[in-house]
Structure 1
Amino acid sequence: MQFKGTADYVADKDLMVAVNAAIALERPLLVKGEPGTGKTELARQVAAALGLQIIEWNVKSTTKAQQGLYEYDAVSRLRDSQLGDPRVNDVNNYIRKGKLWQAFAATEKCVLLIDEIDKADIEFPNDLLQELDRMEFHVYETGELVKARIRPIVIITSNNEKELPDAFLRRCFFHYIRFPDAETLARIVEVHYPGIKQALLQAALTQFYDIRETAGLRKKPSTSEVLDWIRLLVADEVDPADLRGDVKNALPRLHGALLKNEQDVHLFERLAFLARRER
């Protein structure tokens, strides 16, 4: 079972090695990188390439590790007991299976995506150590042991918003997705917009990297944002010559796709103003 990329996802050699190493070791693959570099999409493409079902657990700031295992609805059971509902005699009626339980119970190998694990409380990764290591957990209300029939491929993403515990990191195979260079980014754009004019592509990418390297920029635009921007450039039939000027001389065309806060917009407005004064 080897991941070799897909027609819809440009994966470099190091990334493919990381995915296949995690599969061979049967360890979770922890993928970090800037937002918008394709971490979540990687899990979907691994599933598509290997012909596997994907189970996605999207972590939020309020998410608890227990929710990935199961949740026991004691309130509903109490209410039903007061109403004389016969369902109350079977505790299983009040247990909702979480994403880990679904992955463990799968009859065929699957991909389990735990997306943006760093959004949750710092204890969240620690609370999943044993379950991800042993691929089993107990349901205390029923005494049942839930054990993975077939070990899933676990892919965990992080935007590096907070440090993850060392004990958790030891149990993972790690890969950092670096921001793509111009050649790789051109390939990514061509996957999404086949047949794009090369003159427009090169002019857009040149200006895009100039924007990313501008000193003082608070939020560098990501891969997903440059894809949106180029889509707008293509739709508006922008002349490549209009993109070849110095980014410090004017706000970029359709800059709302790239600059996502007022401080960065004001930065380019100031640079353009200073450039005009110097002429």
Structure 2
Amino acid sequence: MRKDIGRLKIKTILFIISFKLKLYCKNLPLKITNYSTLIFILLLLSINSFCQTNVKKDVSNYLDKTIGEEILNINNGKIHIDPYNLKNTNNYYLNKNFVNGSVFYDNQLYENILVKYDIYKDELVKSFENNNTFGITLINEKTDYFLIDDKKFVNIDNKYKYLKAITGFFEEKYLGKNISLYIKHIKTAKETIIETTLYTEFKEYNNYQLLYNSKFTSVNTQKEILAIFPPLKKEIKEFYKKNKIQEETNPYQFKADLIKFIDNNL
């Protein structure tokens, strides 16, 4: 009921703004033909005074569709080109195809858009007009975070302004009370020539970074972890022994469980 009332108010305000805006635009030196774009922009700016949060979200999403993708900030970037002939199926993306995700870009949240993460270049690519062939490489500095495949990637440079040795997009794997775990997905490239054709082979590995006392430290090995938490040496070694199979079969989840275990014992 409240949502319906909010939408009714939106329609009323929209009619008033539309009428006044058209009268105003007639006196402008530039000819404006797409009144709906300006109307919805003004509407979104003034919506706080009469609409609840869930209605605002609906209007924001509707605005993105109404004004057209071609003028959204998230379409400001360079054309993405796939220049590689792959030797095998292991490409340089987190996913080869565009998948549904969310991006916080240029101080605005964009939901339900098609994106893919270029791990090799550490860049986020957005589908152009929902096309699986053409994409736009977003500007890293304007990308605060994105969500894809139930993973959240944050721009470590934007989130933590202080001096650090790491940079780029990191998966935010575990956020704890005392410590947090970030994972850098990395892909290396190796080129080979087969019958005068150049092929590229990509291999992936992860770099685990621990945030503790406002400092990032590598935690790729047991030795590195023990050096950070000497008082928990016995407990950490015991954790490794009990979870040896998981460490071998699923090191990605093992590391997250280990950091959570340490966090609960600090």
TM-score range, shorter chain: under 0.3
Instruction: Identify which of structures 1 and 2 has the higher relative contact order when contacts are C-alpha pairs closer than 8 Å and 6+ apart.
Output: 1
Query: Which structure shows the higher strand fraction?
Result: 2
TM-score normalised to structure 1 length: 0.26
Query: Which structure shows the higher helix fraction?
Result: 1
